[in-house]
Structures are given as C-alpha cells and as structure tokens.
C-alpha cells in the first residue's frame, strides 16, 4: 500500500499541522434576551445555560462575556406589553432601545446587533400586522423600518431583520438612509425557514403565534432553489450580510450560498439545535462539548463567515473552536 491517509493522523501535532478548519472567536455572535425590570436573570427552561436578563443584569453578564472574547451580540427584546401593532417594537424607550443605549455606553467596542421583527411585540405573536388571519406584507414594512431606525438611533451597530416580509431589506435601507444611518449595515435573515427548531426561542421570547403558523412568510423547508432566490433578492435590496437559518439541517444551503455570495454569509445555530445538544448531554447520551465543537466547525467548513450561536460563551470558555 502506497497511499496511507492514516500517516497524517498519528498524533495531535500532525493532525493540527494539516487541520483545514478553525472557527475564529471574532466570527461568533452571541444571542441574548433582555427583559424589563431590574435584577432579573431567569434561566430559560428549554435552553439550559441561557437567560433572560434585565438591563442591569445584562451589563453584568457582558463583563464576563467580553473578558472571554465575545465581540458581538444579537439582542432580542421581550416587552412587558404587547399589542396588535407591536408598538413597543419601535418605542424610543422600548426594552431593546434602552438595552442598546446601556450596553454601548459601557462596552463601546462591542458590536451590538439587534433583531428586527414584530413577533415578540405583537399580542397575536405573528411577525407582522394582521389583516383578517393573514399577515399583511406592505403595511408591515413601515413598522419594521421604524423599528430598525429606532435601534440605530439607540446606537445599534447593525440591524438584523428576521420577519421574512417581501421587500423589507429595501424598506429598512431606505429608512436608515433617510434618517442619516447610511453606515449601519443590514444582516438579513435571507433564507429563513418555517422551522420546528425555533420552539425553545418562542418559549424564551413568549412569541409563538397565537393561531396558525409562520408558513405564509417563512420558507418551506423543502426548497433550496427558493432560498437562493430570497438571498439574491436581499442582495439586490442592499443586504450587507446574508443568513441561512436554521443551521444544521440546512448546511447544503450554507455551502451553496457561500459559493456564490458576494457578501459575508452568516448561519444561525438556533434554539432547537442548542436544546437538543444540551438535553442529550444532560442525559449522558453524548459528549456535549465535543458535539458543540463539531457543530461549530461544521458551520465554518460549510462556508459560514459569521456564526450566531447560543454556545458562543461556553465555546470560548472551554476552547471548542478548533
């Protein structure tokens, strides 16, 4: 036998010498949930190790995150009051707006990305305005744009629309520019699927739709070509980063997107993916840390430039990126 691939696997030094993939700490984005009140740090039942923080507790938590090397966070707000028109989403004094101001004042170097959607703020839990039982696309755009501008005004470094309305990137870009925020990038949830993997997030954010589902706006999980079309549309509307979400079951699309995208590609390692790893690890059925490492490396190997993951902090803490 002349060819023996095992020669380069004989010890860790050789394996490290030829390893093709590592995840850079700078590529990670840590999603965090912020709630009203003070002194609150409540663990999310279906996401062990993840919490809802009041603003003061969030600032405290960020001390250790920043010390470990977290460079970017993605903020989700959970308001006390929800209504039909999601008015708390674009309130200048809303929970996310206040959190962004406080975080940027204390950690000016930290990249603060905000999720732009209405589902955490609507009483019905849908991502846009209702007309009858349908989510009404065009009037929703105005509210999304208002929300994005209010986030930018609070000091957000980047906005990330996750609603999947048609034309939202263009609407948000135009509104940001008109308000003087030409330099604020948009990370578009471009290929976002109507996935069962968002379950734990909806517990965390209390944002499950009160009736029906999100299949009339989020994508059908059976469609890859349509994902490429959504991504192309977002690019034509000015998206600065495009995203595939969820991650693990959609790595084919991360690869396809990375192969053609002229802008950086993000992947969202979503709440259900996190919950499955944690549950199996707690049961003693898998080695959780090793699985986290494999998953994060898989995202990078598939071509993701930016990895949004609830594992970000523990991955840095435990050195799981290579």
Active site residues: 192, 245
Among 97, 114, 147, 162, binds ligand PBG (CB under 6 A): 162
Q: How many CB atoms lie within 10 A of CB 217?
A: 19
Residue 234 contacts residue 169 (beta carbons within 8 Å): yes
CB neighbours (10 Å) of residue 123?
Answer: 13
Should residue 115 be labelled a site residue for ligand PBG when binding is judged by CB under 6 A? yes
Q: H or E element: which one contains 12?
A: helix 12-18
Q: Which residues contact 145 (CB under 8 A, 6 or more apart)?
A: 168, 171, 172, 174, 175, 176
Closest approach of Cβ 2 to ligand PBG, in Å? 48
In the window 208-247, what residues touch ligand PBG (CB under 6 A)?
A: 214
Q: Which stretch binds Zn ion (CB under 5 A): 63-71, 119-127, 194-202, 294-302?
A: 119-127
Of 202, 229, 255, 301, the one binding ligand PBG (CB under 6 A) is 202
Residue 105 to residue 208: CA distance in whole angstroms:
32
| DSSP string across 32-81 | EEEESSSS-EEEETTEEEEEEEEHHHHHHHHHHHHHHT--EEEEEEE-S-
Can you tell me which of 51, 53, 181, 198 binds ligand PBG, judged by CB under 6 A?
Answer: 198
Site for ligand PBG in 120-149 (CB under 6 A): 127
Q: Is 308 in the site for Zn ion (CB under 5 A)?
A: no
29 interacts with ligand PBG by CB under 6 A: no
- Of 90-98, 100-108, 113-121, 311-319, the window that binds ligand PBG (rule: CB under 6 A) is 113-121
Choose from ligand PBG, Zn ion, none: what does 201 bind? Cβ within 5-8 Å by kind: ligand PBG
Region of 101-109, 122-130, 261-269, 286-294 interacting with Zn ion (CB under 5 A)? 122-130
Binding positions for ligand PBG, rule: CB under 6 A: 115, 117, 119, 127, 162, 198, 201-202, 214, 270-271
């Amino acid at each position: 036998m002349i060819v023996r691939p095992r020669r380069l696997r004989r010890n860790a030094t050789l394996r490290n010498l030829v390893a093709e993939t590592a995840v850079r700490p700078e590529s990670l984005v840590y999603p965090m949930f912020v709630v009203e009140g003070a002194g609150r740090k409540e663990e999310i039942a279906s996401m062990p190790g993840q919490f809802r923080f009041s603003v003061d507790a969030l600032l405290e938590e960020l001390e250790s995150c920043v010390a470990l090397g977290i460079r970017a966070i993605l903020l989700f707000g959970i308001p006390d009051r929800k209504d039909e028109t999601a008015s708390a989403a674009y309130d200048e004094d809303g929970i996310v707006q206040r959190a962004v101001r406080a975080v940027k004042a204390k950690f000016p170097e930290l990249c603060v990305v905000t999720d732009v959607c209405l589902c955490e703020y609507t009483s019905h839990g849908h991502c846009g305005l209702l007309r009858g039982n349908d989510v009404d696309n065009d009037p929703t755009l105005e509210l999304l744009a208002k929300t994005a501008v209010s986030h930018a005004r609070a000091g957000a470094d980047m906005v990330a629309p996750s609603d999947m309305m048609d034309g939202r990137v263009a609407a948000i870009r135009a509104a940001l520019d008109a308000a003087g925020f030409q330099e604020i990038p948009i990370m578009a949830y471009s290929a976002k699927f109507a996935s069962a993997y968002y379950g734990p997030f909806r517990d965390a954010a209390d944002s499950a739709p009160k009736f029906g589902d999100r299949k009339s706006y989020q994508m059908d999980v059976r469609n890859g070509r349509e994902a490429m079309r959504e991504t192309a549309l977002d690019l034509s509307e000015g998206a600065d980063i495009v995203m595939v979400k969820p991650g693990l079951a959609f790595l084919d699309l991360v690869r396809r997107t990375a192969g053609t995208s002229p802008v950086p590609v993000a992947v969202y390692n979503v709440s259900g993916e996190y919950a499955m790893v944690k549950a199996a690890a707690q049961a003693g059925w898998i080695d959780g840390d090793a699985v986290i490492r494999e998953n994060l490396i898989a995202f990078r190997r598939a071509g993701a430039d930016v990895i949004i993951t609830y594992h970000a902090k523990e991955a840095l803490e435990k050195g799981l990126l290579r």
